[in-house]
Amino acid sequence: MIFRIAAASFYFVLLVSSVRSADPAPSAISATDLAARLSAWQQDGASYARLRMEVKQPPGTTKSALQIQIKARRTKMSTDVVYQILWPKERKGEAVLLRKARDRSASGSIFVPPDTLRPLDASQMKEPLFGSDISYEDLIDNFFAWEHQAIVGTEDVDGVSCQILESKPGKGDRSSFAGVRTWVDTRRLVPLRIEKYMAGGRTARRIDTANVVTDDIGRQIPANLMVRGSRKDSVTELDGSRIKHDVTYTDRQFTPEALKEVTIPRSSPE
């Protein structure tokens, strides 16, 4: 996700498998187990998605609306993602590549047609994606894999009882955030709200799930998201319910030079 975003996860970044009959009852899930399942959910291999992103400044007034395609490879050891604008025509081809290996700082590249290509380093991960309320870090950060996980309470979100999972980075975890709280619908194992905090407790980001759907491999996933960041007069809405996992990528598709091409991946052969 967002969540996912994806994340993303944003996706931002954010997808979760349904509870199997052999799993413990939701009330019996420990913080470590819950975080591990959510982390595994993000590591879903190769995927392709399209989403609509609207940046509203002030809320209720659309400043920009974009159609975006997302190519991703997510495993336990590394994450590679490419975000490319498909529409509107005047911004088609703008693209961002982000890469992060386990226990290493993130890096990437930005391409703006016709020929502007520049690198991104770890110090720039706080910058916004295409002028939205989502940062590059939001797209590749897996806080469910951080060292410290705890259940810190329960609360209803839109009438759904959620456990609040608090994630904090350990010595080997690289993040600009001091902590993250996730309101998890443990019956479906879906995050319904995420809040990210800076040192001192200031809220840096809030992500609310507006709709939950079933994806192409039978999982319950957040589909419509509302993201609010540090700008009080801004909100970003995401609609990203279309996702495919039967895709094949080459290593070249996750290189800076490949950002200059807008291509749609082929389905994997059966």
pLDDT (0 to 100) of residue 214: 81
pLDDT (0 to 100) of residue 71: 96
Percentage, residues of the chain above pLDDT 70 = 87
| Interval 210-231 mean pLDDT | 86
Residue 100 CB burial class (10 angstroms; 0-12, 13-18, ≥19): buried
Confidence of residue 14 (pLDDT cuts 50, 70, 90): very low
- Return the minimum-mean-pLDDT range out of 24-33, 53-62, 139-148, 189-198: 24-33
pTM of the model: 0.86
- Return the minimum-mean-pLDDT range out of 7-21, 106-120, 212-226: 7-21
Domain boundaries, the chain: 26-260
What is the per-residue pLDDT across 96-114, written as a single tens digit (0 to 9) for each? 999 998 778 899 999 999 9
pLDDT (0 to 100) of residue 246: 81
CATH topology of domain 26-260: outer membrane lipoprotein receptor (LolB), chain A (2.50.20)
What is the per-residue pLDDT across 254-265, written as a single tens digit (0 to 9) for each? 999 999 999 988
